[in-house]
Amino acid sequence: MENILEENLTKKQLDFFKTLKETYQSQALPSYEKIKQDLNYKSKNSIKQYLEILKEKNFIQKINDNLYINPDFFKAKLVLSRVKAGFAGIMDDKIEKRISFDEILKINEPSTFVFKVSGDSMCDIGIFDNDYVIIKKQQNAKEGDIVLAIVDNEFTLKTLKKDKKGMYLKPENKNYPPIRPKFSLTIFGIAIGITRKLI
Amino acid sequence: MENILEENLTKKQLDFFKTLKETYQSQALPSYEKIKQDLNYKSKNSIKQYLEILKEKNFIQKINDNLYINPDFFKAKLVLSRVKAGFAGIMDDKIEKRISFDEILKINEPSTFVFKVSGDSMCDIGIFDNDYVIIKKQQNAKEGDIVLAIVDNEFTLKTLKKDKKGMYLKPENKNYPPIRPKFSLTIFGIAIGITRKLI
DNA sequence: TAATATTATGTACAAATGTACATAAAAAGT
DNA sequence: ACTTTTTATGTACATTTGTACATAATATTA
């Protein structure tokens, strides 16, 4: 999207937008007067003229009486095509979508908690030591869910399984034995996603 | 943190804050007048009085002339302790940190791109089909890096390896053979993280 | 119950804000 | 070279904004 829009702007307009983006990022824009000072202009009308053009072309928008740079500019550039595009722009034209991991992983919901995985008991399904696991807090879970359970007063991440003897926790690693609760099973929540930092 | 702060507020102040948070979320707060209307008050001084208290207690803060709810409230609640806490608050007191995956994965940097993994060629190191892989665009990479390379005009994610014959791409799955470039290797970037949505 | 703190509303006003209008310089297009 | 568009600056002004001050009503605490 970025590149498509950019073609509608003059060099100066684009420069202005880039400075604006660097200066205020995803925050609400302050008053014309303040922007004037921050960007070293001498008349706040310069700012007004630029912002009106940018607003018309959807680079900025009004939310709750405040101006913002279009939030899409701060999301991740997701490339869906597996095929490499042409030379120059290399691939800006292949960006079909903008995404936010905080949104995808529902970070804002009060029931969402994040834990750090410790140990390799879930490595067979690609959950490793030190991964972040995103947990939705809820008591109920069904067979097959990856749950954060409380065993011996400690949190543990396992797959919830069921057999003739009842519910139990299955580590996803052949070297670990299943965990059977003495009485009942305390479930803190279910895993809705993971994130791993590689570098 | 949330709970620590909450204890400093009266019921009405906390209600006000919750409505404020739900209404404007992470956006900049509009004018007292607008808030007055949105929250159904009859005097904007009511708003001023509440906001002054909230500002004093760090629930809201000023950035670039605009008031915001403390950004921490919109980040993920990371629980570092492995030990379950007491009954009631269950664990609010165990939240030592607030994090943002968009920040951790450097989503905002112009050189960051996200791809969807297709296939199981990297499953041995916990990168699965349909995972999001976060790529930092750069030409150079060193042995051991997980790279997004361009082979036959298609993107492919592999580990960069080196032997007597030179650099090559190693799939992290025994069933796949290594890929040796005919001439040179085109590297698009290196993987800096992955994210997987489980539900 | 009495005393105190919090909450709600209103008025008045100086300061700041966005907008309209005007003009000249610079850049781009023909 | 000439014309048009874009960019930069300034002035004037009605509107809006935050703040100070004042006063009840309501909760809370002693």
pLDDT band of A97, cuts 50, 70, 90: confident
Average pLDDT, chain B: 90
Same domain, A117 and A72: no
DSSP helix/strand/coil, A181: coil
Q: Do B108 and A74 touch (CB under 8 A)?
A: yes
Residues B148, B150, B151, B154: is their CA dihedral positive or negative?
A: positive
* Active-site residue, selected from the candidate residues B46, B48, B55, B158: B158
Are both A6 and A88 inside the same structural domain?
yes
Whether residue B151 sits in one domain with residue B94: no
Residue A93 clears pLDDT 80, i.e. is over it = no
* Residue B184 pLDDT exceeds 90: no
**pLDDT-derived band of residue A6, with 50, 70 and 90 as boundaries?**
low
- This prediction has a pTM of 0.86
**Residues A76, A99 contacting (CB under 8 angstroms):** yes
Alpha carbons B126 and B146: distance in angstroms, whole number: 12
Look at residue B126 and tell me whether its pLDDT is greater than 90.
Answer: yes
Residues B172, B161: contact at Cβ < 8 Å?
A: no
> Where would I find the beta strands (DSSP E) of chain A?
60-63, 66-69, 76-79, 95-99, 112-116, 132-137, 146-151, 154-163, 166-170, 186-197
Query: Does residue B145 share a domain with residue B71?
Result: no
Mean of the pLDDT values across residues B52-64? 94
Task: Answer yes or no: are the C-beta atoms of A173 and A122 closer than 8 Å.
Answer: yes
* DSSP designation for A20: H
What domain range is A153 assigned to? 112-195
Mean pLDDT in residue range B94-114: 90
Mean pLDDT computed over A97-111 = 93
Is there a catalytic annotation at residue A182? no
- B133, B107 in Cβ contact below 8 A? no
Domain presence at residue B76: yes
Residues A27 and A78 in one domain: yes
Is residue A184 pLDDT above 70, yes or no? yes
Number of domains in chain A: 2
A131 and A158: one domain?
Answer: yes
- B 180-199 near A (Cβ less than 8 A): 188, 190-199
Note whether B108 contacts A132, CB cutoff 8 Å.
Answer: no
Domain boundary residue, one of B99, B131, B162: B99
pLDDT score of A95: 63
- CATH code for the domain in which residue A191 is found: 2.10.109.10
Nearest residue for D5, CA–C1': A10
Which residues, 6+ apart, have CB-to-CB distance to B45 below 8 Å?
Answer: B32
**B99, B127, B152 - which closes a domain:** B99
Residues B59, B159: Cα–Cα separation, whole Å = 45
**Which pLDDT does position A83 carry in this prediction?**
73
Tell me the average pLDDT across A157-168.
93
Q: Mean pLDDT over all residues of chain A? A: 89
pLDDT band with cut points at 50, 70 and 90 for residue B24: very high
Task: Please state, in angstroms and rounded to a whole number, the distance separating the CA atoms of residues B176 and B151.
Answer: 15
| Residue B106 located in a structural domain | no
- Which one has a higher pLDDT value, A4 or A163? A163
pLDDT of residue A8: 81
Same domain, B9 and B91: yes
Question: Are B41 and B130 part of one and the same domain?
Answer: no
Q: What is the mean pLDDT of residues A91-118?
A: 86
Structure token pair of residue B12: 């009405």
